[in-house]
Amino acid sequence: MTRLLSPHPIWALLGILFFALNIAAFLIWYERRLLALWQDRYGPNRVGPFGLLQPVADAVKMFFKEDWVPPFADRWPFIGAPAIVAATVLLGFAVVPFTSGIVITDLDIGLLFFLAMSSLGVYSVVIGGWASNNKYALLGGMRAAAQMLSYEVFMGLAVMGTVILAGSFSLGDIVAAQQRTIWYVVPQFLGFVLFLIAGAAETRRLPFDLPEAESELVAGFHSEYSGMKFGLFFVGEYLGVTLISCLITVLFLGGWGGPGLPGLVWFLIKMFGFISFFILLRAALPRPRFDQLMAWGWKLMLPLALANLLVTGAVVLAVH
Amino acid sequence: MLSILRTLWDVFLHAFHKRVTIQYPEQKAYLAARYRGRIILARDPDGGERCVACYLCAAACPVDCIALEATEDPTGRRYPAWFRINFSRCIYCGFCEEACPTYAIQLTPDMEMSEYRRQDMVYEKEDLLIAGPGKYPGYNFWRVAGVQIGGKDKGEAEREDPPVDLQSLMP
């Protein structure tokens, strides 16, 4: 079922792994600098040139923290939970076509695979919150589960418009279809906006960070985590942001397509544009109340996504 | 919905605003002349110590970080034998400066006093004394006080009349 596009799949795999993990580390610095820029500050600018070595300093600090498992915690789920989030998001990268040659595996059901992996990621949060044996962590985990259920639904529906237009679940085919016709951000603008919002909720980033909500729940599901296990949750979150940005680029902005520059450069430009937009969301918007979040998801976003799907299907049927 | 978009746009525009951060070690913040920082002991315009070791600052200090011991020189002029301020305890409230009757103890706009060893935060009298009169340039306590000290008898202070001779019948 799978076909490997790259002539050296193992190099593509290692390269993408290296790229994704480094981007995730670099995003720590990037986010702090960008937030600072929008708050009229400088952010970390002391460690190395422009503070670029800040993630290294952070990592060194994390490694030297005590790797502690609370005596009241459920030991093995507690240790396993951070690995799940990082592993599922990294698996999600397997189907992202960076350029025409660089993709680990262009599954026929690549989009479904991505949706499945991003849904599995919530297990990490729920298990982590449950295993912590701490009421704040449990509340965070429960919120994560509820939020993920609500936003997963219309996330999947929002991208079905692009699937109808492209006629394929394969991400490579979707990009190819966009290069033949038009970037799907134009005919699928509503789907694009819905997917953007669902993506922010999916990665549990502000303004959808209710699972951690530090002003209400200490640190939510990772209240009890420290050291590198906490670091892995963080890496998972930044990997998630990167993955969602990649997916938006692939699904709605024509992937690596663009005039002049090489494909990979175009892909990175678009991806970083969306990462910056997610950071802008964090810089600008307050966190909604939980019932507002749920009401938004079920009463506004879901009907909009359904209507979008219906109209897209009708139009495509009418045209054919 | 529109307000969310407007907020996003407004925050984005902050990318083009001037940053308010002062890059501290390279770039110093402005400290007002009355900033309450490092404490100093000032001198009279003629170079003598202003402090008369009255202990009012030590009494006023809410954290008891000032310690001193009074002594007198042979001419009857009081001064502190030693004067010690523990800056690791000082809260820079300025009460000592308010309590001081002779403008001797003053707070200055300097707060760069970090040390690697705690003991180095304890300043002795020679660390505290400065060469000049500080914030009150013309003031000289011993020249206006009615106290008799060496080189200045009763009635010789500024704006002081000679003492009345109680034995004399003349007006």
pLDDT at B130 over 50: yes
| pLDDT band for position A6 (cuts 50, 70, 90) | very low
Percent of chain A with pLDDT over 90: 1
| Residues of chain A found within 8 Å of residue B19, distances taken between Cβ atoms | 37, 40-42
Cα–Cα distance, B47 to B21 (Å, whole number): 42
Average pLDDT of chain A? 84
pLDDT at B83 over 80: yes
Helical packing angle, A171-180 and A227-252, nearest 10°: 40
Across A71-85, A151-165, A305-319, B54-68, the highest mean pLDDT is recorded for B54-68
Least CB-CB distance to B14: which of A40, A42, A285? A40
Question: For B146, which DSSP code?
Answer: -
Give the number of other CB atoms < 10 A from CB of residue A50.
14
- Interface contact A41, partner B, CB < 8 A: yes
Reported as type and span, the H/E element at residue A115 is helix A110-131
Optimal mutation site among A41, A280, A287, interface B, most CBs of chain B within 10 A: A280
How many contacts (CB atoms, under 8 Å) link A and B?
A: 33
Cα–Cα distance, B114 to A139 (Å, whole number): 44
pLDDT at A1 over 70: no
Residue A203: C-alpha distances to residues A20, A65, A237, B63 (Å):
15, 26, 6, 51
For residue A4, what pLDDT is reported?
Answer: 45
Identity of residue B125: K
Handedness of CA A275, A277, A282, A283 (dihedral sign): positive
Cα–Cα distance, A173 to A181 (Å, whole number): 12
Give the number of other CB atoms < 10 A from CB of residue B36.
18
pLDDT at A7 over 60: no
For residue A222, what pLDDT is reported?
Answer: 80
Residues 6 or more apart in contact with residue A299 via CB below 8 angstroms: none
Cα–Cα distance, A244 to B136 (Å, whole number): 66
Give the number of other CB atoms < 10 A from CB of residue A277.
16
The two tokens of residue B168 are: 């004399």
Q: Do B21 and A37 touch (CB under 8 A)?
A: no
- Give the pLDDT mean for B106-134: 91
| Residues of chain B found within 8 Å of residue A285, distances taken between Cβ atoms | 4, 7-8
Which single residue is written with the structure tokens 């290692």? A14
Cross-strand bridge partners of residue B149: B152
* Phi and psi torsions of B71, nearest 5°: -150, 175
Least CB-CB distance to A40: which of B8, B10, B20? B20
- Better-scored residue on pLDDT, A123 or A214: A123
A window 249-288, beta carbon within 8 A of B: 280-281, 283-285
- Interface contact B10, partner A, CB < 8 A: yes
- A46: closest chain B residue by CA: B23
For residue B56, what pLDDT is reported?
Answer: 93
Predicted confidence (pLDDT) per residue in A92-146, tens digit: 888 888 777 777 777 788 888 888 888 888 888 888 888 888 888 888 888 888 8
* Phi and psi torsions of A214, nearest 5°: -65, -20
CB A81 within 8 A of CB A133: no
pLDDT at A302 over 50: yes
Burial label for A170, CB within 10 Å (0-12, 13-18, 19+), is: buried
| pLDDT band for position B94 (cuts 50, 70, 90) | very high
Cα–Cα distance, A194 to A50 (Å, whole number): 35
Which single residue is written with the structure tokens 């790797």? A67
- Give the pLDDT mean for B141-170: 82
- Give the pLDDT mean for A18-34: 86
- Better-scored residue on pLDDT, A195 or A202: A195
- Give the pLDDT mean for B47-56: 90
Distance from CA of A187 to the nearest CA of B (A): 21
Gyration radius (Cα) of chain B, Å: 25
- Interface contact A47, partner B, CB < 8 A: no
Q: Do B14 and A37 touch (CB under 8 A)?
A: yes
For residue A8, what pLDDT is reported?
Answer: 64
Identity of residue A86: A
Q: Do B14 and A280 touch (CB under 8 A)?
A: no
Tell me how many degrees the CA angle A123-A219-A295 measures, rounded to the nearest 5: 65
pLDDT at A75 over 80: yes
Distance from CA of A43 to the nearest CA of B (A): 9
Predicted confidence (pLDDT) per residue in A83-94, tens digit: 888 888 888 888
pTM attached to this predicted model? 0.77
| Residues of chain B found within 8 Å of residue A281, distances taken between Cβ atoms | 8
- Interface contact A310, partner B, CB < 8 A: no
Tell me how many degrees the CA angle A155-A159-A162 measures, rounded to the nearest 5: 175
| pLDDT band for position A200 (cuts 50, 70, 90) | confident
CB B32 within 8 A of CB A308: no
Nearest partner of A122 among A96, A154, A150, judged by Cα: A150
